[in-house]
């Protein structure tokens, strides 16, 4: 079917971290108009926090999936590389589009790009932005004093009080788009298929895309959700959802997730406590976004503790051992090896490895955040920054500086049988659950730091900085 795009004035739907056709407010609104739709993705020029190495792999795979979901509906994804401002102007000229729809983003770079595009193009086309990423909109939530929240519990209570709309939608069977315009680059040229062995191994472990995300939610709700409250802190058990990369890339709508959980509780009220515990985690994500949105400098500088530079030591050797999972502390090494092999790490272990790096080794939280940024498939500027500042004791609602996780006692508590350690460190599989947590076992590398020494030194540094 061919269309006269001169007359039809199509709508550009600009996909950015919302790679789904279901429950996608910007896309839904465009479909409702009955106009032709031009789905677009732009790979923006590199900036400080452009996609990391692992998330770039995920991005390529999810875009391929989105493109094929569009193709079966008669449409396609226009992929472009460069400054979005220039690219969108070019598209408007070529296609006679009169509207651009997108879902809002909240990271400092995204916010400033979107503001610039809005002021440049608003006279030439109708630009509409939608809420498609969070449960709560950071712009609307303020504490009693009129300032942004810095503590989670009042933020959470306010979110529940204010509530949010949930519009559940399905994509249409056909999506009317202008006939192929030969615009754009091929996806393969801007995001090539994985070439290196580690890339291939890593990406093979995940099912990527909207259908996979919905299936994972379904499996979680009908399976491990009922063990979440009790099991979520035990990395060996897998009683978590593993949804973070899907949420990161917007393959599933967070509001749809919330809706499905409420439906599950209605059908099975015994799930209430676990569903509440899990739902609360979703609001930690919102909270992290709210902090980054209101305090954009936090991606580089701590929210609290003006100048705490002298907290940090220059322990390059320690940092490298940490990245390689060779610190000599089994739970730390297991976490870092899980990260390298899968692009994921369990939340409890993320807290332990981050605390170990910042406190026992005295390495700057930003170095850890950068390593995570490159290796996590769910690398997300809001949650990653938040998690690192929390661990380093200089963020919103952060762990107090004197809370220094002891990796051995934490390991005994949360991986009592050593299941997680044995999964990632084969050379320790012969050890008993009594000995496996300790550093210094025969045949394993020696610990790179004496825990009591690292702890005392950290306390002394933190006391000086009054962080």
Return residues touching ligand FAD (CB under 6 A): 232, 240-244, 247-248, 281-282, 284-285, 288, 347, 350-351, 354, 372, 376, 378-380, 383-384, 386-388, 391
Q: For ligand FAD, give the closer residue by CB, 98 or 211.
A: 211
Secondary structure of residue 136 in the 3-state scheme? coil
Taking the least distance from each CB to ligand FAD, the nearer of 120 and 374 is 374
CB of 359 closer than 8 Å to CB of 313: no
Taking the C-alpha atoms of residue 445 and residue 433, their distance in angstroms, rounded to an integer, is 19
Decide if 131 contacts 18 (C-beta within 8 A).
no
Residue 120 CB, nearest distance to ligand FAD (Å)? 31
**Encoding tokens for residue 331?**
């739970």
Q: What angle do CA 290, 296, 302 make, to 5 degrees?
A: 95
Q: For ligand FAD, which is the closer residue by CB, 155 or 444?
A: 155
- CB-nearest residue to ligand FAD: 387
Nearer to ligand FAD, 202 or 240 (CB): 240
Smallest separation, CB 305 to ligand FAD (Å): 17
Closest to ligand FAD by CB, 40 or 404: 404
Nearest distance, CB of residue 163 and ligand FAD, angstroms: 19
Dig out the tokens for 181 from the structure.
């315009």
With beta carbons less than 8 A apart as the criterion, state whether 51 and 190 touch.
no
Q: Cβ of residue 287: shortest distance to ligand FAD, in angstroms? A: 7
- What's the rounded Cα separation, in Å, for the pair 301 and 30? 39
We find the least distance from the C-beta atom of residue 346 to ligand FAD, in angstroms, to be 6
Please, what is the minimum distance in Å from the beta carbon of residue 247 to ligand FAD? 5
Count of Cβ atoms closer than 10 Å to residue 252 Cβ: 26
Residue closer to ligand FAD, measured from CB, 248 or 364: 248
Helix spans in 72-190 (H): 84-95, 108-121, 152-162, 187-190
Q: Residue 341: what are its φ and ψ, rounded to 5°?
A: -80, -30
- Could you tell me the smallest distance in angstroms from the CB atom of residue 392 to ligand FAD? 9
**Is the Cβ of residue 291 or residue 436 nearer to ligand FAD in the bound state?**
291
Q: In whole angstroms, how close is the CB of 435 to ligand FAD at the nearest point?
A: 28
Other CB atoms within a 10 A radius of the CB of residue 195 amount to 7
The residues, ordered by sequence, that sit 6+ positions from 354 with a Cβ below 8 Å of its Cβ are 365, 368, 387, 388, 391, 392
What's the burial of 408, exposed, middle or buried (CB within 10 Å: 0-12/13-18/19+)?
middle
Q: What single string gives the DSSP state of each residue in 343-366?
A: S---HHHHHHHHHIIIIIS---HH
Smaller CB separation from ligand FAD, 203 or 352: 352
If DSSP codes are grouped into helix, strand and coil, which group holds residue 434?
coil
């Amino acid at each position: 079917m061919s269309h006269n795009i001169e007359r039809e004035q199509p709508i550009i739907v600009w996909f950015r971290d919302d790679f789904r056709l279901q429950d996608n407010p910007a896309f839904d609104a465009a479909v409702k108009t009955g106009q032709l739709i031009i789905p677009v993705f732009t790979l923006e020029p590199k900036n400080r926090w452009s996609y990391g190495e692992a998330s770039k792999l995920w991005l390529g795979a999810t875009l391929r999936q989105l493109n094929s979901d569009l193709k079966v509906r008669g449409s396609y994804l226009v992929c472009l590389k460069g400054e979005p401002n220039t690219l969108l102007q070019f598209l408007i000229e070529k296609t006679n589009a009169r509207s651009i729809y997108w879902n809002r983003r909240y990271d400092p770079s995204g916010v400033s790009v979107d503001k610039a595009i809005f002021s440049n193009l608003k006279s030439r086309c109708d630009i509409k932005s939608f809420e498609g990423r969070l449960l709560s909109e950071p712009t609307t939530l303020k504490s009693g004093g009129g300032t942004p929240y810095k503590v989670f519990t009042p933020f959470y209570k306010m979110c529940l009080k204010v509530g949010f709309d949930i519009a559940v939608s399905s994509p249409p069977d056909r999506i009317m788009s202008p006939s192929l315009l030969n615009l754009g680059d091929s996806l393969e040229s801007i995001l090539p298929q994985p070439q290196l062995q580690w890339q291939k191994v890593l990406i093979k472990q995940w099912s990527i895309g909207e259908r996979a995300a919905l299936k994972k939610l379904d499996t979680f709700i009908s399976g491990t959700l009922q063990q979440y409250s009790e099991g979520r802190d035990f990395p060996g058990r897998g009683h978590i959802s593993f949804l973070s990369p899907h949420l990161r890339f917007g393959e599933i709508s967070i509001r749809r997730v919330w809706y499905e959980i409420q439906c599950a509780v209605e059908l099975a009220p015994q799930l209430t406590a676990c569903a509440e515990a899990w739902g609360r985690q979703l609001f930690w994500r919102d909270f992290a976004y709210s902090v980054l949105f209101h305090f954009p400098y936090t991606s580089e500088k701590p929210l609290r503790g003006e100048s705490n530079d002298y907290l940090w030591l220059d322990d390059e050797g320690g940092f490298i051992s940490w990245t390689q999972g060779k610190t000599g502390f089994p739970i730390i090494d297991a976490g870092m090896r899980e990260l390298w092999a899968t692009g994921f790490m369990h939340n409890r272990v993320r807290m332990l490895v981050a605390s170990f790096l910042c406190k026992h080794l005295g390495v700057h939280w930003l170095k850890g955040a950068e390593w995570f940024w490159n290796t996590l498939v769910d690398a997300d500027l809001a949650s990653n920054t938040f998690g690192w500042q929390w661990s380093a004791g200089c963020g919103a609602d952060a762990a107090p500086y004197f809370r220094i996780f002891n990796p051995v006692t934490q390991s005994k508590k949360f991986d009592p049988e050593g299941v997680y350690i044995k999964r990632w460190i084969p050379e320790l599989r012969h050890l008993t659950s009594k000995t496996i947590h300790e550093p210094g076992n025969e045949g394993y590398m020696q610990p790179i730091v004496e825990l009591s020494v690292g702890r005392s030194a950290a306390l002394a540094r933190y006391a000086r900085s009054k962080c």
